[in-house]
Structure 1
Amino acid sequence: MSAADLLLELRGVHTHIGAYHILHGVDLAVPRGQVTLLLGRNGAGKTTLLRTIMGLWRASQGSVQWQGRDIARLATPQIAQLGIAYVPENMGVFADLTVQENLLLAARGARNAQQIDGARLAWIFQLFPAVEKFWHHPAGKLSGGQKQMVAVARAIVEPRDLLIVDEPSKGLAPSIINNMIDAFAQLKAGGVTILLVEQNLNFAQRLGDGVAVMDNGRTVHTGSMAELAGDAALQRSLLGLTL
């Protein structure tokens, strides 16, 4: 794969959190226009990797290449301004603000809701009807699935080149998981590159193009999602379970 095909590439990334050495030389390639799944057991280092990409935790060694530029030393707001959006596992929804106010915070070019791109907002409402339904409701009053929709909607209220989402299906009902899969598929079709951490292997199988598996702070396998989905022995050896 040529460098031009890669939107994001990590090379030999180490991350320390206090006295703890969490990432041990991670390599990861995220091809442009694809959905890349990051899998692994709990505690493998997946969330630490996402937070390191976003500059929330600083890489102590190695490079984080964004379209050929090392961004490992940039501050988080600078990284976001490059066109990277991050939805953390806890969703980061502001509970006391309305759904509208949550999205407005992320729409940097808008001073009020009327200034949010109307066509984009209509598209978000089509992806996530609950966002429109609860537009004027406090986000903290919504269900877990509805909050997840608000979190993703907020991340895409402005055009993004890369969407990073940590465990989007966690705790969601099957019907909402299907809605989320459809939304990510539409985002991909619109040219958005997506990096997902996911524990739901059915979700991963239906959505992923490529996959990287982590264990003990290292990347232990990379390949296509189809290859992993079709190899039960490989699934057991990497993840301790099968699709």
Structure 2
Amino acid sequence: MSDNLLNLQGVHTHIGQYHILHGVDLAIPRGQLTMLLGRNGAGKTTTLRTIMGLWQASQGSITFDGRDITRLPTPEIAQAGIAYVPENMAIFADLTVRENLVLAARNGDLDPHRLKWIFGLFPALEKFWSLAAGVLSGGQKQMLAIARAIVEPRDLLLIDEPTKGLAPAIIMNMVQAFKELKSTGATILLVEQNFLAAKLLGDHVAVMDDGRVVHRGAMAELAEDAALQQKLLGLSMDAHQ
């Protein structure tokens, strides 16, 4: 079996008249965390949405665990074992924390052992279990969004900018939660703009620019190469720590 759980080959995506992805090639190693970095508008979110079938690839192929999912509808892609946490979190503000998690469980039942593990990652969710999700803080809502994605075991997690707008202390809590997720052998593709979080979490990195992947490699190597950071991202990670 391939060491790569997900493969994109020559993927193009059009949204209306706009050509957003221009032949994306991307391989996501099984059981590791891959950072997807790039300037604003580089195509990172479009890549995640195309993987999930929310936007259809107009050319190229997407293979997940050996299965071609390029043309599958989003519900089938989710059923195949991929969870997606969008940038806007997509929680149900009028429902309680508990109800949000029940809805995310495919059979409507919450595994008490897995729930205990989730509470270990995000203690605030247990504290606010019966409260409407809309009253949670921004960081707590993000925790709930991630908890919804992992309420059942998933083979692949696609997560879009989980630390955006969060206070530094909450970001470090989020980093610790992702480290715990990594320790379980989860495969994660993470879009992130916080470079300290990227440095702490990433095993691998792919950098996008203008709808293409322009760099692939080890996250540690990019983290140590200020000149390459400047070339690829227009700034140095050291300036954002």
Q: What SS does structure 2 have at the residue aligned with 1:64?
A: strand
What is the match of residue 51 of structure 2? 53
Q: What SS does structure 2 have at the residue aligned with 1:97?
A: coil
1:194 to 188, 199, 207: 188
Structure-1-length-normalised TM-score? 0.96
What is the match of residue 68 of structure 2? 70
Paired letter, 2:36:
L
Paired letter, 2:219:
M
Paired letter, 1:230:
E
Superposed displacement of residue 68, structure 1: 1.7
Paired letter, 2:115:
L
Which deviations, in whole Å up to 9, do the C-alpha atoms of 1:48-78 show, x marking residues without a partner? Answer: 0000000000000000010121101001010
What is the match of residue 169 of structure 1? 163
Is 1:226 the counterpart of 2:224 in the alignment?
A: no
- What CA distance in whole angstroms lies between the structure 1 residues aligned with 2:208 and 2:185? 26
Superposed displacement of residue 191, structure 1: 1.4
Paired letter, 2:65:
Q
- What CA distance in whole angstroms lies between the structure 2 residues aligned with 1:108 and 1:63? 27
- What CA distance in whole angstroms lies between the structure 2 residues aligned with 1:69 and 1:62? 14
Which deviations, in whole Å up to 9, do the C-alpha atoms of 1:193-223 show, x marking residues without a partner? Answer: 0000000000000000000000000011000
Is 1:11 the counterpart of 2:5 in the alignment?
A: no
Alignment of 1:211-222 (within 5 A): 211-222=205-216
Which deviations, in whole Å up to 9, do the C-alpha atoms of 1:2-50 show, x marking residues without a partner? Answer: x610000100000000000000000001000100000000000000000
What is the match of residue 98 of structure 1? 96
- What CA distance in whole angstroms lies between the structure 2 residues aligned with 1:177 and 1:82? 30
Paired letter, 1:72:
T
Superposed displacement of residue 175, structure 1: 1.4
Structure-2-length-normalised TM-score? 0.97
Paired letter, 1:125:
F
What is the match of residue 42 of structure 1? 40
Alignment of 1:23-172 (within 5 A): 23-110=21-108, 115-172=109-166
Superposed displacement of residue 83, structure 1: 1.0
**Unaligned ranges ≥5, structure 1:** none
Which deviations, in whole Å up to 9, do the C-alpha atoms of 1:82-118 show, x marking residues without a partner? Answer: 11100000000111111111000011122xxxx4100
- What CA distance in whole angstroms lies between the structure 2 residues aligned with 1:126 and 1:23? 38
Paired letter, 2:151:
V
Superposed displacement of residue 178, structure 1: 1.1
**Unaligned ranges ≥5, structure 2:** none
Superposed displacement of residue 224, structure 1: 0.5
Superposed displacement of residue 179, structure 1: 1.2
